[in-house]
Chain A
Amino acid sequence: MSTTPAPPAATQGREALVACLHAALDALEREDDTAWRRNVDELIQWRTQPLVQGLVRLARELETTLGTGGGNGSLHEACLRLEHVVKVSEEASHHTLDLIQDCRILLGTLGKGGDDAPTLAAIRSRLSEMTAAQGYQDLTGQIIRRVVDLVRTVHEGLGEYAGDDARPLQLDPRGHGPSVQGLDGPAATQDDANQLLSSLGL
């Protein structure tokens, strides 16, 4: 396997790096904390600068890719969209629950001697409204798909700058959330949980 000779700038960079490492080692041996820190800081900067530059470029590319004409498309916008999804789905659930509650009250008035026809019509109309209320899923689904595309773009962009030793991003460890088929390992069913708990004496 042949090795391509490093360009002059890279050779210069490597020489500077070697000098810096030597200086850091010397300082450590001399117990010169200030010089040790200064050299280590320089090494860290040397290591992180290309990554920072890459991230800046990625952010610029994302702005261009996601720009909505005014250049406002961004991760911030994606967060706002997801917050909107939470709000819309919450409102739809409350609306559906209100309709269920109405139906329960209406059902209680049936068969009390009067004409049941208007009550039945009122229940039917609420059932239709419940069906219509589920339409939020179409809207939120579209928004979520758009955010999925954004996350994929970010993932691909980051892959370009991450080294082999890059660790995956860690989310808040407070829980894993619902298990998604094809992404997460098999989730326990209620029966599995019941068996596991009784084997533990619960």
Chain B
Amino acid sequence: MDKNIRILIVDDFSTMRRIVKNLLNDLGFFNTVEADDGTSALVELRKGPFDLVITDWNMPGMPGIDLLKAIRADAALSKVPVLMVTAEAKREQIIEAAQAGVNGYVIKPFTAATLNDKLTKVFERLGAVA
């Protein structure tokens, strides 16, 4: 697995962005960019190629579910894997995210082991495709 892949972390809380970033660093991934909502995330995504998006759902401005749909609807971005890390834990929301094409779903509060596990699975699939 290429440890230099570019990862976009999207969350309105800077602490949560930092926690995700630190856990990624622990796994050896240091090439990260941050955005605080879906709108700014799309600006970043259109600026340069990203290999993975890790996004919260509930954010002011554009929420994560709309960001996911916008990514899947954009021919240039549609293949980017998206991992949802969120406190939104209703069954219908998980189904909505799955139908919108999410690649993984982590419920907050999460343990480092859970996030690592989900990231590893996404990275394995990325590795298999690459």
Distance in angstroms from B129 CB to nearest chain A CB is 15
B108: Cβ under 8 A from any A Cβ: yes
B3: Cβ under 8 A from any A Cβ: no
Whether the pair A193, B58 counts as a contact (CB closer than 8 A) is no
How many residues of chain A have a CB within 8 Å of chain B? Answer: 24
Binds B, one of A39-47, A60-68, A111-119, A175-183: A175-183
Expressed in whole angstroms, the Cα–Cα distance for A175 and B96 within the complex equals 12
Distance in angstroms from B123 CB to nearest chain A CB is 16
Whether the pair B107, A97 counts as a contact (CB closer than 8 A) is no
The chain B residue sitting closest to A89, CB to CB, is B15
Whether the pair B95, A196 counts as a contact (CB closer than 8 A) is yes
Whether the pair B105, A197 counts as a contact (CB closer than 8 A) is yes
In the bound complex, residues from chain A placing their C-beta under 8 Å from that of B95 are 196, 200
Whether the pair A175, B58 counts as a contact (CB closer than 8 A) is yes
Interface size class of B (residues with CB under 8 A): 20 to 34
Within A180-194, which residues are at the interface with B (CB < 8 Å)? Answer: 185, 187-190, 192-193
Within B1-52, which residues are at the interface with A (CB < 8 Å)? Answer: 13-15, 18-19, 22
Expressed in whole angstroms, the Cα–Cα distance for A188 and B98 within the complex equals 15
Whether the pair B22, A97 counts as a contact (CB closer than 8 A) is yes
In the bound complex, residues from chain A placing their C-beta under 8 Å from that of B103 are 202
Q: Which of B14, B15, B89 contacts A188 (CB 8 A)?
A: B89
Distance in angstroms from A162 CB to nearest chain B CB is 27
Residue-wise, chain B 93-121 has the 8 Å CB interface mask toward A (1 for contact) of 11100110011111110100010000000
Whether the pair A185, B94 counts as a contact (CB closer than 8 A) is no
Whether the pair A175, B15 counts as a contact (CB closer than 8 A) is no
Using A175-B57, A196-B95 as known contacts, say yes or no to A188 and B22 having CB atoms under 8 A apart: no
Residue-wise, chain A 51-76 has the 8 Å CB interface mask toward B (1 for contact) of 00000000000000000000000000
In the bound complex, residues from chain B placing their C-beta under 8 Å from that of A100 are 22
A167: Cβ under 8 A from any B Cβ: no
Within A87-141, which residues are at the interface with B (CB < 8 Å)? Answer: 89-90, 93-94, 97, 100-101
In the bound complex, residues from chain A placing their C-beta under 8 Å from that of B99 are 200
Q: Which of A101, A177, A178 has the most CB of B within 10 A?
A: A178
Beyond known contacts A94-B18, A175-B63, A196-B95: 10 more, CB 8 A cutoff: A90-B13, A174-B58, A175-B57, A187-B90, A187-B107, A190-B110, A196-B91, A197-B94, A197-B104, A200-B98
18 contacts between A and B (CB under 8 A): A94-B18, A100-B22, A101-B22, A175-B57, A175-B93, A176-B58, A176-B88, A185-B90, A188-B89, A188-B90, A193-B89, A193-B105, A193-B107, A196-B91, A196-B95, A197-B104, A202-B102, A202-B104
